[in-house]
Structure 1
């Protein structure tokens, strides 16, 4: 089995449009971490601003989230994450952008999101994202100048799901709408049910229920 290196990127933004505090969704980091580590991969956690990333939505009854949060290596990394801008993209086979509403604010505009993802993708690696994590994709252009999602099939948190969450007016933009505007074909499933879309080396998932499935597909693509 080939050992691979996976990078999980977490948001550093903690304000959900004045409605409440937010951050990264713990399950959306824990489940891919579990899939990758079970596959024998090395997993590093980074955030946009570094330091301790803000959390949103942990589930103490989910054994995988508990395992993640109690893992010594994870605890050490989460206590003081490196900035995404500090890492060397060529060290990684895949970058996985973890969701949580905070991602809608700092993923699209951070230049390291674009540079790291472009480097990994153009070195035959996989770019992955789940739920609000695909907000990262809205700011990534390839060497050709095209958006990474142009002409691609993708998934992400849908307009219907945002409405169901009551947060349509709180987010800076609607993810499904923005991805469509950039030339993506957004494939939507029923609200809050697993929906994973693979288009070449771009792997995306619609919601928290899709987090592990995205990671499993990344493993499959890189196998």
Structure 2
């Protein structure tokens, strides 16, 4: 079982418009189901802590309905931890949920930057979808290099911002900012699914990509589990060999004594 932390925006209103926003429920619900069905534990945090704002729930989507009605999820979302007090050592992965609000509070959150960097530096998995990669643009790793530098990533595209009618209100185009930080932005057509895996970084383009991001994260978990088992088996074999050598040495010593 792996432990995944989902991080959510605390921005409830798009500045200058009065339009309500929050985390995208589909982008949380569909990965939640993937992780939950595999027996993993999902926890929640947000930039400011407390109960994060959410976009409207699509009641025609049974997965979103199940997510919002699940007792453990409701309890976890009722009072989320602030990202700057979360212990990254408690988690095997961090997943950044999208929603337009992330464009205002994810990029400049030092707590989020430190959390993501710590998880990745420890050899664990980082995932983000849609506007969630806004939380990656300023993350620096222990070697001083930006996490996205030299990596292929997916995120909400400029054309999708135009299609969503948000191109005039967002503080920057996410795809452009990622490329400014050294990433290669890989994308599909508007609102089509696109998931990109680069080492232990998994990113998705839009809500349609959310479940796919979780599934690719699961594959990385499986690889890690396989590697852990291989290491344990090597250690067990080494221990057996040591014990066998000790027994052989003791038997040889006993034989010499008898002679």
Partner of 1:7: 5
- Please give the alpha-carbon distance, in whole angstroms, between the structure 1 residues aligned to 2:49 and 2:111: 12
Please state how far the C-alpha of 1:175 moved relative to its aligned partner.
0.1
What are the equivalent positions in structure 2 for 1:1-223 lying under 5 Å apart? 3-19=1-17, 20-223=19-222
Question: Could you tell me the TM-score, scaled by structure 2's length?
Answer: 0.84
Shift of 1:18: 2.5
Any idea what the Cα deviations from partners look like across 1:31-80, whole Å, max 9, x if unmatched? 11110111110100111101110111321111001110000011111111
Which protein is richer in strand relative to its size? Answer: 1
Q: How well do the aligned residues superpose, as a CA RMSD in angstroms?
A: 0.8
Return structure 1 stretches of 4+ with deviation > 6 angstroms: none
Offset of 1:143 from its aligned partner? 1.0
Unpaired segments ≥5 residues, structure 2: 223-259
Q: Distance in 1 between matches of 2:90 and 2:84?
A: 13
CA distance in 1, matches of 2:179, 2:22: 25
Name the one with the larger helix percent: 2
CA–CA separation in structure 2 for the residues paired with 1:203 and 1:196: 7
Give me the TM-score of the superposition, normalised by structure 1: 0.97
Query: What is the DSSP-based 3-state SS (H/G/I as helix, E as strand, rest coil) of the residue aligned with 1:18?
Result: coil
Larger Rg: 2
Higher relative contact order (CA 8 A, sep 6+): 1
* Structure 1, unaligned runs of 5 or more: none
